[in-house]
Chain A
Amino acid sequence: MDIKIERMLVQKEAKDYPMASRIRERGGGIPVVFEHSEMGSEREWKETLPEVGKQTLELISFKGEFLKPCPGTKEYICCGYQILNIGTNCPLDCSYCILQAYFIENYMRIFVNLEAKLNVIAHIIDTQEENIFRIGTGEFTDSLALDPLTGWSEVLVSFISKRKNAVLEFKTKTDQIRGLLNTPTREGIIISWSLNSPSIAAREERGAPSLRKRLEAARQCQQEGFVVGLHFDPLIEHPSWRKEYVKTLELLDKYLDPRRIIWVSLGSFRFMPSLKPIVRKRHPRTCIFDGEFVIGLDGKMRYFKPIRMEMYGFMREKLEQWYKDLGLYLCMESDEVWKKSMGWSPGTSKGLSEYLDKRVLQFFGAPGD
């Protein structure tokens, strides 16, 4: 996978952080076209750069909270994940990406003061020994797409391996695993791949490596002793979707050892209504809106409930035929949908958190072991 970054914008307050220097050094020939102050930020450089896009990388000192719980909604069962904010947007251009509606501009931002804030994050984790922190960096960006530049894996693997009650999940659609493979420890690290059917991957995940390449990377990680996770999210109803998803499941069997998979999540495509016109404009040939969407209890558009249950039920059946103990779970679904498609339900978000925490203990052992 080639990362095509044509220019860099650097916030003045950010330029002296080690990560900023590293990115500029590793970026080699990427020109820094603008240095701006924190206060001026977008307004300042937009005067001279009206058009920015995915080929633009901005390095900033992030003033918000780095570690935050996944917002979830009370209407659906949430997994109780903690989001580690390391940047926003990514070089891939998936048609269904919710970030298109979250952020007006699609240029990428890297929070280069991450290392300086690790002590704050460590304090939060270390002072709550009774809790298991399942942390992920893949909520607002791809966890590994920019790793060759940023060195996130070097920084974060070392940080997490020192924590007794935390695991870190790198969620990606890429094959950028070199940085991770070079780290000395596997403790508390999960590398997860976002997967879809071959036709959706080819048609809707622009810029992402093929499923085969992703799974080759996953196999290599397993062989190197890493625990792997899988995410079928978003599941998309498209022509012959059953056959299409089975093709991916057949690839899983070919490439991966199911015993070293900590969890597999399933989530059907859902979106804020404001996303639709944006996607229609940016990806006019998309098929992601072809299904029957209704307004969910959280105001997002979701597939009509029986369709979701049918998709989850199908995936569950096929995945369990492959291996019984995959740590299957649903992302943002109701108790009713859980029961009718998975045959059981964690009942509440707390219940799902406990279920996933148990998976962590099963794979990494209890704290202090």
Chain B
Amino acid sequence: MFSREPRAPIEVHVFGLPNFLVIEAGETMMIRENRSVWIDSANIADDPGPFCMSFAFDLGVLADSIKKIGLLNPPYVIGKKQGRGFEVVSGYRRVLAVKALGWEKVLCKDISNSVTSPLEYLVFNLYDNLATRTFNDVEKGMILCRLDPLVPRKEILEEYMPLLGLPSHEPTLEVYLRVPDLALEIKEAFARGQLSFQSVRALEDMDSLSQSQVFKWISELKFNFNQQRQFLEILVDLALKDGISVFEFLAKEELSRYLEDPIENRPQTAKRTLQALHELRYPRLTRAERIFREKVANLNLPEGAILKAPAYFEAPGYCLEVRFRDGKSLKRKMEALLNIKQLANLDDAWVEKE
């Protein structure tokens, strides 16, 4: 059985068998009984079960290692409560690797009689993994999801989230708790770092059709995190304004043509798509930007002179930047500027002249 021994010495076995497991400072969870048994690999579950937390990993390296030097650390298993066979508590990847190598039997540690609660199995695996690797975001979601019914929220926020490198922030926890429900392709992209946390949060608020359509756009146009943020923010605003789903919005011909019939390369298509969305979301601002560009172009400013508008035209006035080589060239440019008659007509950018 596990027992909690306050202030017991901390002992961590990185390469050997972990008979002691550090749970929290000054407290050690100890396995009193861990029977080594040979188990038919076919009798060990293929799925991660309720305790393991591995997602989107490369089995190749581990399988190669086991093939060369054997299985150094036996997986920890327990007998299934219902039905025959064994559930993996720790060492899920090793089990998959030896199965891939075709091993018929695996030497495991059976801790069926050592531990009583699902929480202790879960914590066992969590700490075992924490000592050797970092978790990807989907795995963090899996861990938090499994802890959620077993541990008070306050404890998850204050103890487990920092342990996983996450802020003790309830809205962040809510996002991670919903990660396991996402479609496999979305989870894989999140685990690989191709989707930002903000994007995942936005996707979670959508119906499944919209999720998959948005993911298709993001992955096909290879939006970076900043582009993902813009894409999703504008998309959600526009769909809500129209009272339709994001899926329906993306199906509109004016947008879908960018994905279905790209005439440019991928980065250009991505840029054009965002520009099109920007125009739909901010029609008056876009028009003002266009009018301003046209007005400036019609001025025929001397080379090296740039007329800039403040961000979103919010601050009053404009800024003129003149690049020059020496005093003479500055003088020439200043004279050229003074001779531009249309400068006197430069007014609000958004005012379209007849």
Interface set of A (CB-CB < 8 Å, partner B): 287, 289-290, 292, 294-297, 302, 304-307, 334-336
Question: Most A CB atoms within 10 A — which of B240, B283, B285, B314?
Answer: B314
| Docked pose: A335 CA to B281 CA in angstroms | 28
Interface size on B, residues (CB 8 A): 17
Q: Is the CB of A336 within 8 A of B316?
A: yes
Also in contact, A304 and B312, with CB within 8 A (given A292-B281, A292-B285)? yes
- Is B185's CB within 8 Å of the partner chain A? no
A330 to chain B, nearest CB (A): 15
Which residues of chain B are near A336, meaning CB under 8 Å? 316
Q: Is the CB of B314 within 8 A of A296?
A: yes
Question: Most B CB atoms within 10 A — which of A294, A296, A305, A335?
Answer: A305
Q: Is the CB of A306 within 8 A of B288?
A: yes
| Docked pose: A353 CA to B286 CA in angstroms | 36
Also in contact, A295 and B237, with CB within 8 A (given A304-B285, A336-B316)? no
| Docked pose: A367 CA to B237 CA in angstroms | 52
CB-contact partner of B316 in A289, A290, A296, A334, under 8 A: A334
Also in contact, A306 and B348, with CB within 8 A (given A289-B237, A292-B284, A294-B285)? yes
Which residues of chain B are near A306, meaning CB under 8 Å? 284, 288, 348, 350
Q: Is the CB of B314 within 8 A of A305?
A: yes
- Is B55's CB within 8 Å of the partner chain A? no
- Is B344's CB within 8 Å of the partner chain A? no
CB-contact partner of B312 in A289, A294, A335, under 8 A: A294
A274 to chain B, nearest CB (A): 11
The B264-304 residues at the A interface (CB cut-off 8 A) are: 281-285, 288
A299 to chain B, nearest CB (A): 11
B286 to chain A, nearest CB (A): 9
Can you list 13 residue pairs at the A/B interface with Cβ under 8 Å?
A290-B237, A290-B240, A292-B283, A294-B282, A294-B285, A295-B311, A295-B314, A297-B315, A304-B282, A304-B312, A306-B288, A307-B284, A334-B316
Also in contact, A292 and B282, with CB within 8 A (given A306-B288, A306-B348, A306-B350)? yes
Per-residue CB proximity of B300-331 to A under 8 Å, as 1/0? 00000000000111111000000000000000
| Docked pose: A296 CA to B315 CA in angstroms | 8
Which residues of chain B are near A305, meaning CB under 8 Å? 312-314, 350
A45 to chain B, nearest CB (A): 14
| Docked pose: A177 CA to B288 CA in angstroms | 47
- Is B252's CB within 8 Å of the partner chain A? no
Which residues of chain B are near A335, meaning CB under 8 Å? 316
A267 to chain B, nearest CB (A): 16
CB-contact partner of B314 in A287, A289, A290, A294, under 8 A: A294
Q: Is the CB of B284 within 8 A of A304?
A: yes
Which residues of chain A are near B315, meaning CB under 8 Å? 297
Per-residue CB proximity of B182-220 to A under 8 Å, as 1/0? 000000000000000000000000000000000000000
Chain B interface secondary structure, helix, strand, loop or mixed?
A: helix
Which residues of chain B are near A294, meaning CB under 8 Å? 282, 285, 311-312, 314
- Is B81's CB within 8 Å of the partner chain A? no
Which residues of chain A are near B241, meaning CB under 8 Å? 287, 290
| Docked pose: A292 CA to B288 CA in angstroms | 12
User: Known contacts A292-B281, A304-B312; can you find 20 more A-B pairs with CB under 8 A?
Assistant: A287-B241, A289-B240, A290-B240, A290-B241, A292-B282, A292-B283, A292-B284, A294-B285, A294-B311, A294-B312, A296-B314, A297-B314, A302-B314, A304-B282, A304-B284, A304-B285, A305-B313, A305-B350, A306-B284, A306-B348
Chain B residue with minimal CB distance to A304? B285
| Docked pose: A8 CA to B288 CA in angstroms | 53
B221 to chain A, nearest CB (A): 25
Which residues of chain B are near A295, meaning CB under 8 Å? 311-312, 314
Which residues of chain A are near B316, meaning CB under 8 Å? 334-336
| Docked pose: A295 CA to B284 CA in angstroms | 15
Chain A residue with minimal CB distance to B233? A276
| Docked pose: A297 CA to B311 CA in angstroms | 9
| Docked pose: A295 CA to B283 CA in angstroms | 16
Which residues of chain A are near B350, meaning CB under 8 Å? 305-306
Which residues of chain B are near A334, meaning CB under 8 Å? 316
Which residues of chain A are near B312, meaning CB under 8 Å? 294-295, 304-305
The B9-32 residues at the A interface (CB cut-off 8 A) are: none
Per-residue CB proximity of B228-240 to A under 8 Å, as 1/0? 0000000001001
Which residues of chain B are near A290, meaning CB under 8 Å? 237, 240-241
| Docked pose: A302 CA to B237 CA in angstroms | 16
A339 to chain B, nearest CB (A): 10
A365 to chain B, nearest CB (A): 38
| Docked pose: A290 CA to B280 CA in angstroms | 12
Chain B residue with minimal CB distance to A296? B314
| Docked pose: A305 CA to B282 CA in angstroms | 12
A334 to chain B, nearest CB (A): 7
Which residues of chain A are near B314, meaning CB under 8 Å? 294-297, 302, 305
A198 to chain B, nearest CB (A): 20
Which residues of chain B are near A302, meaning CB under 8 Å? 314
B219 to chain A, nearest CB (A): 24
B283 to chain A, nearest CB (A): 7
Which residues of chain A are near B282, meaning CB under 8 Å? 292, 294, 304
| Docked pose: A290 CA to B239 CA in angstroms | 10
B170 to chain A, nearest CB (A): 10
| Docked pose: A295 CA to B288 CA in angstroms | 16
Per-residue CB proximity of B335-348 to A under 8 Å, as 1/0? 00000000000001
| Docked pose: A69 CA to B284 CA in angstroms | 36
Chain A residue with minimal CB distance to B281? A292
| Docked pose: A296 CA to B311 CA in angstroms | 9
| Docked pose: A296 CA to B312 CA in angstroms | 8
The B55-71 residues at the A interface (CB cut-off 8 A) are: none
A188 to chain B, nearest CB (A): 37
Chain A residue with minimal CB distance to B351? A306
| Docked pose: A351 CA to B316 CA in angstroms | 19
Chain A residue with minimal CB distance to B317? A336
| Docked pose: A294 CA to B312 CA in angstroms | 7
Which residues of chain B are near A289, meaning CB under 8 Å? 237, 240
Which residues of chain A are near B288, meaning CB under 8 Å? 304, 306
Chain B residue with minimal CB distance to A284? B240
The B85-140 residues at the A interface (CB cut-off 8 A) are: none
Chain A residue with minimal CB distance to B316? A336
| Docked pose: A294 CA to B311 CA in angstroms | 9
